[in-house]
């Protein structure tokens, strides 16, 4: 168990060393929000006819009358106490909003990444086994299409085909349809929560809602994953140890899967981590198309209404997720490859 303990210690050290970066992100977003045009006090005043006094009062209430450095100090001390501020838009604490919406985004992104990996790895392997063949070109075409069609277009197309034409998918309005009641919240992942209470029907309803947005997100990221799988699989197949495996007559399956693919999958892990972080923050289009109550659409709405606190909270959340995912990737990498140790 000493190996595991050592890994945990190193992981902890890595987390500590990422704190300065997180602090930098905090300050930078804070300043960025202050530089952006738009006056929140005007925006949140009672109406277009609100008088100067009322706006002034709101500004004072929000602390915007103080100098920027003072505001920053207040903001940082709030963060230090775990207070991300209150959203003017929803009237709730930002922390509560994010906590409600993050599981929706995570569930969607995880599913999308899973679908993407399940599709991309075999595609990459097949392409690498017969480079230059019809199959290889087919995979390349598919990847190109996936990348060049924006997610909102593919999302709308999927809705048109599966909801409007075929009627297979439920209407794209959030995480569950109006007839199903919410399960008691445990993990926040609806598909898991339903299973925990044994509600198979509810689980199926949640999955049906999930599948279209997840697929349209997955389509977009299959390309990088499949390409990196193909490239590293080609290197792997041409390597000396695969030649060794062939020289002793190992079965085709053993050569391709155990020897070539397990080595080729290492860079895919790294790319998958990056793809995941990107998807989580950038899936706002999919969330909008499918009315998905996720964090990205929340942040976009907040940005449009100059609501500082949610945007700052969102950026901080994304930065933390990015740090965590990278750490996770490094730990996975350390398990998959005995040559590296994270540090």
Partner 1 sequence: MSEKLLSIDDLHVAFSTRRGMVEAVRGVTLSVEAGEMLGLVGESGSGKSVTGFATTRLLDAAGRVTGGKILFRGQDVTKLRGDDLRHLQGAAMSMIFQNPRAALNPIRAIGLQIADAILTHKRISKEAARAEALDLLRAVQIRDPETRVNAYPHELSGGMCQRVMIAIAISCNPALLIADEPTTGLDVTTQKVVMDLLADIAAARGMATVLITHDLGLAARYCRRIAVMERGRIVEEASPRTLFSAPQHAYTKRLVAASPTATSRIGDLVTEEERENYAAVISRPRHEPAYGTPPLLEVRKLAKRFDQGAAAVADFSMTMAGGEGVGLVGESGSGKSTTSRMICRLIDPSEGDIVFDGQSIGHVAARDFHRSPLRKDIQMVFQDPNESLNPRFTAFDCIAHPLMRLDGMRAGDALRQRVEECAERVGLPLDLLPRFPHQLSGGQKARVGIARAIACRPRLLVLDEPTAALDVSVQAVVLQLLDRLRRENDIALLFVSHDLNVVRMLCDRTIVLRNGGIVEQGESRALFDNPKTDYTRKLVEAIPHIETGPALAAGL
User: Which chain residues interact with partner 1 by CB under 8 A?
Assistant: 238-241, 243-251, 254, 258-259, 262-263, 266, 336-339
CB of 275 to partner 1, least distance (A): 23
Nearer to partner 1, 225 or 245 (CB): 245
Nearer CB in complex with partner 1: 38/131: 131
Residue 176: helix, strand or coil by DSSP? coil
The residue (of 138 and 238) whose beta carbon lies closer to partner 1 is 238
3 state SS of 93: strand
Nearer to partner 1, 52 or 339 (CB): 339
Smallest distance from partner 1 to CB 7, Å: 17
The nearer residue to partner 1, 137 or 262, going by C-beta atoms, is 262
DSSP state, 66?
Answer: S
The CB-of-247 to partner 1 minimum distance in angstroms stands at 5
Q: Which residue matches tokens 């902890």?
A: 12
Measured from the CB of residue 272, what is the shortest distance to partner 1 in angstroms?
18
In the bound state with partner 1, the residue whose beta carbon lies nearer, of 56 and 136, is 136
Question: How long is the chain?
Answer: 343
As measured in angstroms, the least distance from the Cβ of 232 to partner 1 is 13
What is the three-class DSSP state of 286? helix
Of 61 and 244, nearer to partner 1 (C-beta) is 244
Please report where in the chains the tokens 């998905």 appear, as a residue: 292
CB of 132 to partner 1, least distance (A): 10
Distance CA 263, CA 217 (A): 27
Q: State which H helix or E strand residue 223 sits in.
A: helix 200-237
Residue 338 burial (CB < 10 Å; 0-12/13-18/19+)?
A: exposed
Helix (H, G, I), strand (E, B) or coil at 86: strand
Buried b (16+ CB within 10 A) or exposed e, 57-75: ebbeebebeeeeeebbeeb
Beta strands in 235-325 (DSSP E): none
- Separation of alpha carbons 89 and 87, rounded Å: 5
User: Two tokens at 128?
Assistant: 């690498």
Please, what sign has the CA dihedral across residues 195, 201, 204, 206? negative
Q: Cβ of residue 337: shortest distance to partner 1, in angstroms?
A: 5
């Amino acid at each position: 168990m000493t190996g595991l303990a050592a890994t945990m210690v190193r992981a902890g050290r890595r987390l500590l060393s990422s704190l300065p970066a997180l602090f930098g992100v905090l300050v930078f977003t804070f300043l960025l929000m202050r530089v952006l045009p738009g006056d929140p006090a005007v925006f949140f005043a009672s109406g277009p006819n609100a008088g100067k006094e009322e706006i002034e009062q709101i500004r004072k209430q929000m602390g915007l009358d103080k100098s920027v450095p003072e505001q920053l100090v207040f903001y940082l001390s709030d963060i230090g106490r775990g207070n991300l501020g209150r959203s003017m838009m929803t009237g709730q604490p930002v922390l509560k909003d994010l906590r409600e919406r993050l599981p929706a985004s995570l569930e969607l992104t995880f599913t999308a990444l899973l679908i993407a990996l399940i599709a991309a790895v075999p595609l990459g392997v097949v392409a690498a086994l017969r480079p230059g063949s019809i199959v290889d070109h087919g995979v390349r075409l598919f990847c190109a299409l996936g990348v060049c069609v924006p997610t909102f277009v593919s999302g709308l197309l999927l809705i048109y085909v599966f909801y409007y034409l075929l009627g297979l998918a439920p209407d794209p309005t959030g995480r569950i349809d109006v007839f199903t009641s919410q399960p008691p919240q445990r993990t926040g992942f609806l598909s898991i929560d339903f299973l925990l209470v044994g509600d198979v029907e509810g689980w199926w309803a949640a999955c049906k809602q999930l599948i279209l947005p997840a697929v349209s997100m997955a389509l977009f990221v299959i390309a990088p994953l499949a390409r990196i799988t193909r490239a590293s699989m080609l290197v792997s197949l041409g390597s000396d140890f695969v030649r060794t495996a062939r020289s002793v007559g190992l079965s085709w399956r053993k050569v391709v899967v155990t020897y070539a693919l397990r080595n080729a999958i290492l860079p895919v892990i790294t790319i998958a981590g990056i793809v995941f972080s990107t998807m989580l923050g950038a899936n706002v289009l999919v969330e909008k198309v499918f009315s998905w109550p996720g964090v990205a659409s929340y942040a976009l709405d907040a940005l449009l209404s100059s609501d500082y606190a949610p945007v700052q909270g969102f950026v901080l959340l994304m930065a933390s997720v990015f740090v965590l995912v990278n750490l996770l990737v490094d730990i996975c990498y350390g398990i998959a490859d005995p040559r590296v140790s994270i540090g």
